[in-house]
Structure 1
Amino acid sequence: MEGSEATLAANLGAFAVSAAVVWYAGSRLAYLSDALSDRLHLAKSLVGLLFLSLATSLPEVATTLTGAVQQNSDLVLNNLFGGIALQTAILAMSDFWATRSITSYPRKANHALEAMLVVLLLSIVLIFTQLGERISLAEVGLGSVIVAAVYGGAIALLRWYDDASDWVPVDLPDPDPLPFPAPTGLREESLRALFWHTALAVLLILVFGLALVLLADRIAEQSGLGTSFVGVTLLAGATSLPELTTSLTAVRIGAYTMAISNIFGSNLIMVVLIFPADLLYRKSPILNDASLTVDLSLTFGILVTTIYLIGLIVRRKPRVGRVGLDSVLVLICFATSLWVYYLAR
């Protein structure tokens, strides 16, 4: 018993160290992404959607593909879809650092479109988890193929819509000035140096993000918690830590659109990962093995994303202190989801 407790304590300590490294690397990556977007004259929403979301999703990518190779459908599905509500709650937590409701800042409909596409993909997956994969080819289900095709179309649509200006809200708050200076000398760095720093930050996120995943799995075994419950809580939390630190840092430096696109872009990636996972999972179409916890996580993902979609459309919204009502509702829904997951474990 004592040895088991010592091992658990050691794993918890290693988990904390790995989390600290990921936190630092994620913060640094947000600064670097902001600097690169200015240097390359790219929209911050585009950088958040196509680069930052992919970089911070690397632990999820590695965990998902490893779980699929190991034929562990429970780990794959719970990690992927359990992270949707969690990452959306991260955006809600970021709202505490914004002067006004974070969904009041976007000047285009890009983010509302991103939210709608997340809801669309989650709805498609939910249909196939309920109906079952009745059509498959080489154990790859029709549902995962449709998700991959829709994701490709969604990215093309978002890239095209980035230059559109047919939806222009009025009475927008100005972005806040930087509350503290960016890292010393960052803006004086050469473009090549910025790329090298970015590559290092991404590598740290990947290596120590994977360490978090392995440690979370060990902690789950030693603590005696159910694998489904751990998959949608501790494991999803470990792989979502890069999104947390990058989003908080982006909001603190006034890059609100990058923070929003980072979260919605990461959620889109989480859903489309079901396709490569299905290719590697050889027992059957992977969505056929979805549990009640997976269905619940999909439902909560749709719920919290819809709340933010409403918040993006309704420009003048009530606030609770400095935080938008939509963010408060998202946090309440996320807290409720943890209780529901525990009951369904």
Structure 2
Amino acid sequence: MGSFTSPVLLVLFVASAAVIWYAGIKLSDTTDVLAERLHMGSALGGLVLLAIATNLPEIAITVSAALAGQLDIAVGNILGGIAIQTVVLAILDAAGVRPRAPLTRLAASLQLVLEGALVVVILAVVVMGTQLSPDLHAARLAPASVAIAVLWVIGLVLLNRAGRGLPWREGGDAPDSQPEPRGHSRGKKEKAATDRGVGSRRAVLVFAAAALATLVAGVVIERSGEQLFARQGLSGVLFGATVLAAATSLPEVSTGLTSTRLGDYQLAVSDIFGGNAFLPVLFLLATLISGKPVLPAAHDTDIYLTALGIILTVIYMTGLVFRPRRQYARMGIDSITAVVVYLVGIAGLATIAT
């Protein structure tokens, strides 16, 4: 795409973002319908099927970058994506909560705290993996990427068990939180699809078409955006961690707004944490494709972004425990803190990247 003019690249970038947004809505709806019809638990449905579906742009970019040998774009997009997807919760807090109250007050649940802890543990292993020798690998596998995938699976098993009930009052849900059980929006979507005569076969076809569109748009948005913003003087690290990560987070925004509009606040937070826990699993995919460990080649900026993701996750875990009552600028104090920390963090990233 280097031969395209900047206006053409801008059109491709914006068009790809629009495709990702629209396809993200279709992926969310069909994923919820299929999860209900396949009788998946709320934890498995949210943390596996929807996590993979909403992260298809990141999957496409990771595969494309690994095939091209541009591992810095892949790593920056994965780790930068975690930070900005966590900030998506602030968008949901400001735009999606009805009645007017902080998102973490209505969504408070011990299960969500456990999901946030899984994100923190996986990101800690990411940091550890960056310190290992690049020669420590065999059969196109690296210990850190394998450990991340194993921890993710173990975490899913534990969260699925927690989803069936915790030995705490009200099963781990806080009093005065959302009135309906977590995942009720999926049942409503499935009922609406049934009333419209949407069968499982049609849902699968729509899911496949939306997934394909998202994958193609993910590659186009990465290639066009890299060329366009490089001409504006934006480094590959900053582009991957900010503009590209924001564009590929559009499915999470659309999915989250749909859940909060239906009053399923716990599911909205779970989808963000679930996607963030899944993203580092893509390091295993990148390692298999490139044939060499990805994490030992991480830059200081990548480790910095990992730490930023941990801090932002802990901020919302704290909000789920303390359940703030008051709002400022239509957001809870945890969301305001997360936005400020993210902006300060990106400013710090700019000093490292330059």
More displaced 10-residue stretch of structure 1: 155-164 or 112-121: 155-164
Long gaps (5+) in structure 1: none
C-alpha separation between the residues in 1 aligned to 2:289 and 2:83? Answer: 25
Aligned equivalents of 2:274, 2:85: Cα separation in 1: 10
Amino acid at match of 1:225: L
Q: Distance in 1 between matches of 2:254 and 2:288?
A: 31
Select the residue among 316, 323, 336 that pairs with 2:344: 336
Residues in 2 aligned to 1:199 and 1:280: alpha-carbon distance in whole angstroms = 23
Q: Is the 8 A contact 2:33 2:189 kept in 1?
A: no
Aligned Cα RMSD in Å?
Answer: 2.9
Amino acid at match of 2:78: L
Q: Which amino acid aligns with 2:348?
A: V
Q: Which moved more, 1:181-190 or 1:197-206?
A: 181-190
Deviation at 1:80, TM superposition (A): 0.8
Alignment match of 1:216 (pick from 220, 225, 244) = 225
Deviation at 1:110, TM superposition (A): 2.0
Note the alpha carbon deviations across 1:131-181, whole angstroms, 9 max, x for none. Answer: 655743356432222212211211221122211232332232435999xx9
- The answer to whether 1:227 aligns with 2:275 is no
Shift in CA distance, 107/327, structure 1 to aligned 2, threshold 3 Å? closer
| 1:199–1:134 Cα change, 3 Å | closer
Task: Identify which of 230, 255, 269 aligns with 1:260.
Answer: 269
Q: Aligned to 1:70, which of 44, 68, 72?
A: 68
The farther-off stretch of 217-226 and 75-84 is 217-226
Match of 2:25 in 1: 27
Q: Secondary structure at 1:293's aligned position in 2? A: helix
TM-score between the two structures when normalised by the length of structure 2:
0.85
- Structure 1 residues 309 and 107, CA, compared in 2 at 3 Å: closer, same or farther? closer
Alignment correspondent of 2:319: 311
Aligned AA for 1:253?
Answer: L
Aligned to 2:165, the other structure's residue is in SS state coil
Q: Deviations over 1:195-249 (max 9, x none)?
A: 3333333333222233222221221333232111112112222222222222222
Quickly say closer, same or farther: Cα 1:315–1:216, change in 2 above 3 A: same
Bigger shift: residues 116-125 or 56-65 = 56-65
- 1:286 matched residue in structure 2: 294
Query: Across the two proteins, how many residue pairs are aligned to each other?
Result: 339
How far is 1:42 from its partner? 5.2
Deviation at 1:321, TM superposition (A): 4.7
Q: Which ranges of structure 2 fall in alignment gaps of 5 or more residues?
A: none
How far apart, in 1, do the equivalents of 2:243 and 2:342 lie? 14
Contact 1:140 1:285 in 2 (8 A): yes
Partner of 1:200: 209
Q: Quick one: percent identity of the two aligned structures?
A: 32
Cα contact 2:145–2:283 (8 A) shared by 1: yes
1: CA distance, partners of 2:156 / 2:83 = 21
